[in-house]
Amino acid sequence: MRHPALTFPATLAAMLTLGLLAPAPAAYAVTGALTQLPGTEGCVSQDGTGGFCTDGAGLSGAVALGASKDGKSIYVASFSSNAVAVFARNKNKKAGTLGALTQLAGTDGCVNLTGSDGCAVGIGIANPFAIAVSNDGKNVYVAGSTDDAVASFARIKRKKQGAVGALTQLGGTAACVSEDGSGGLCEDGVALDRPTGVMIPRDGKHVYAATDDSDSVVVMARNKRKRAGPVGGLGQLAGQDGCVSEDGTGGECVVGKALLSGLGMAASPDGKFVYAAGFAGTIAVFSRDKKTGVLTQLTGTDGCVSRDGSGGACVDGRGLNGARALAMSGDGKHLYVASELVNAVAVFSRDKKTGVLTQLTGADGCIHETGFDGCADGKALIGPRGIAISKDGKTVYVASVGSNAVAIFARDKTTGTLTQLAGTDGCVSNDGTAGDCVDGEGLLGAGSVLVSNDGKNVYVASGSSSAVAGFSRATK
């Protein structure tokens, strides 16, 4: 006869206590799946988004993200605010939610053109379109698209110097390099009309800028020693060493190809090759002299991939129309391309010795919103603008402005093939996309995505939400 006090829950609890029934093993989330941080820690926006996000400054039209290698700082370039917003990232669970962002106080929290919104004043950052942080953590560089400039900032690395992560623009003309010198405020540059991409190889010796109007890649040396001038100061290489452009820019640059409307860039882990995306649907391939920084486009069709082969000048590729952002795997084996106009991600293997790209065959070579052009079928891929790979190489994330979402893919580390996670694990969107994705906040106009160096968090900059959204990432 059953004892009247032992109802089913009580009986189960008693058995667990006595060790007669082992508890079920914990259910682990799929590796790479995202969970938005709790409450208002899940996003920071310009106006707090009706109480769903933390209130921030300098975030209108958030368009690009950067992170320090030490994991302590996150930077957001905001197109409409003409600003860079500065956040401390919590790395310690004991101090609160892991990965939560806190904007630095006062003028440490943002830099803009006018000092409005409580920000510090900066120059050369009108309508910023891209941002990069040096590997040594000493500098941050911003592509100011309307100022035709790349602006240079020193970053505080240690508490005794001030608020960790705070930015101070370099003094004098070291503050920026611009197309015309900006009336003496900046160093004078060449082929810098509307810079829309900025990239620093791991060795930190050079900074590269891609331009939309000059159709170029610009090469700048970076000063790494105090005795040679301000640490982080930039100087464009002399003569034609300083740029490669589609038409040679009146003889000032080397003539290149597949450079129309340049945007995102990537460097190989060994620093020997540089890749540049063109919105016309191209990827240009360069070898890099690691000592001088000079770029040399590979010869023949090895020098580029394009959506139509560019009349035989390039290798023919798929899923490339509107190529906007590039991500290189940490092992250097694969390159991934987010292509906005065709709603696709293209997948390439890479010869590590020669730098040559080869698109994977069949459906492995691209993933498309509807499976167009022989690509695999995906979701949350309308207007992909940003792409990032986790440091463990297991996951690829794509921010899609039209889907208001981040799409999530498992990566085969041997073949490079991408497989979207099953069910709602495969994406997070601002409205859940009719049940296809997890529901999130601060994702309207998602356009840039970043994975923290420790792989524990993912951040998304969203232009229409004027926000940066934060997520924890499943690592097992």
What digits encode the pLDDT tens for the residues 31-69? 999 999 999 999 999 999 899 999 999 999 999 999 999
For residues 216-221, give the mean pLDDT.
98
In eight-state DSSP terms, residue 444 is: T
Q: Are 309 and 322 in contact (CB under 8 A)?
A: no
**38 HSE (CA, 13 A, CB side):** 3
What's the token pair of residue 382? 């309308």
What confidence category does residue 229 fall into, taking pLDDT thresholds of 50, 70 and 90?
Answer: confident
Tens digits of residue pLDDT in 270-316: 999 999 999 999 999 999 999 999 999 999 999 999 999 889 999 99
Q: Are 215 and 197 in contact (CB under 8 A)?
A: no
Q: Which residue has the tokens 């957001």?
A: 76
| Neighbour tally for 23: CB within 10 Å | 6
Q: Single out the residue of 394, 396, 424 nearest to residue 412, CA to CA.
A: 394
Q: Single out the residue of 104, 86, 214, 91 nearest to residue 140, CA to CA.
A: 86
Q: What span, in angstroms and rounded, lies between the C-alpha atoms of 284 and 379?
A: 28
Q: What is the mean pLDDT of the chain?
A: 93
Query: Can you name the residues that pair with 143 across neighbouring β-strands?
Result: 130, 150
Q: What span, in angstroms and rounded, lies between the C-alpha atoms of 411 and 396?
A: 7
Sequence-distant (6+) residues with CB within 8 A of 45 are 53, 54, 55, 56, 59, 442, 465, 466, 467, 468
Is the model's pLDDT at 10 over the cut of 70?
A: no
Round to the nearest angstrom and report the end-to-end CA distance of the chain.
46
Residue % of the chain over a pLDDT of 70 = 94
Instruction: Provide the residue type at 318 as one letter.
Output: R
Is the model's pLDDT at 5 over the cut of 70?
A: no
Per-residue model confidence (pLDDT) at position 6: 33
For residue 249, is it left (φ>0), alpha (ψ between -120 and 50) or beta? left
What confidence category does residue 28 fall into, taking pLDDT thresholds of 50, 70 and 90?
Answer: low
Is the model's pLDDT at 17 over the cut of 50?
A: no
Q: Which of 19-33, 215-229, 313-327 has the lowest mean pLDDT?
A: 19-33
| Neighbour tally for 31: CB within 10 Å | 17
Domains, the chain, in order of start with CATH, read: 38-473 (2.130.10.10)
For residues 105-134, give the mean pLDDT.
98
Is the model's pLDDT at 26 over the cut of 90?
A: no
Q: Single out the residue of 418, 380, 420 nearest to residue 401, CA to CA.
A: 380
Q: What is the pTM of this model?
A: 0.93
Q: Are 123 and 170 in contact (CB under 8 A)?
A: no
Q: Are 420 and 398 in contact (CB under 8 A)?
A: no
Q: What span, in angstroms and rounded, lies between the C-alpha atoms of 306 and 318?
A: 8
Q: Are 277 and 265 in contact (CB under 8 A)?
A: yes
Length of the chain: 476
Q: What span, in angstroms and rounded, lies between the C-alpha atoms of 199 and 266?
A: 7
Tens digits of residue pLDDT in 325-374: 999 999 999 999 999 999 999 999 999 999 999 999 999 999 999 998 89
Per-residue model confidence (pLDDT) at position 87: 98
Is the model's pLDDT at 156 over the cut of 70?
A: yes
Per-residue model confidence (pLDDT) at position 195: 98
Q: Are 213 and 249 in contact (CB under 8 A)?
A: no
Q: Are 259 and 216 in contact (CB under 8 A)?
A: yes
For residues 96-109, give the mean pLDDT.
97
What confidence category does residue 4 fall into, taking pLDDT thresholds of 50, 70 and 90?
Answer: very low
What's the token pair of residue 267? 């460097």
Per-residue model confidence (pLDDT) at position 310: 87
Q: Single out the residue of 195, 185, 112, 218 nearest to residue 148, CA to CA.
A: 195
Q: What span, in angstroms and rounded, lies between the C-alpha atoms of 309 and 252?
A: 27
Q: Is 163 exposed, middle or buried (0-12, 13-18, 19+ CB in 10 A)?
A: middle
What's the token pair of residue 221? 């040396």
Per-residue model confidence (pLDDT) at position 432: 87
Q: What span, in angstroms and rounded, lies between the C-alpha atoms of 364 and 453?
A: 27
For residues 443-464, give the mean pLDDT.
98
What confidence category does residue 380 fall into, taking pLDDT thresholds of 50, 70 and 90?
Answer: very high
In eight-state DSSP terms, residue 22 is: P
In eight-state DSSP terms, residue 26 is: P
What confidence category does residue 92 fall into, taking pLDDT thresholds of 50, 70 and 90?
Answer: confident
Q: What span, in angstroms and rounded, lies between the C-alpha atoms of 57 and 106?
A: 10
Per-residue model confidence (pLDDT) at position 27: 52
For residues 150-157, give the mean pLDDT.
98
Q: Are 116 and 160 in contact (CB under 8 A)?
A: no
Is the model's pLDDT at 24 over the cut of 50?
A: no
Per-residue model confidence (pLDDT) at position 14: 41
Compute and round to an integer the Cα radius of gyration of the chain.
23
Per-residue model confidence (pLDDT) at position 259: 98
Residue % of the chain over a pLDDT of 90 = 89
What's the token pair of residue 126? 């009108």
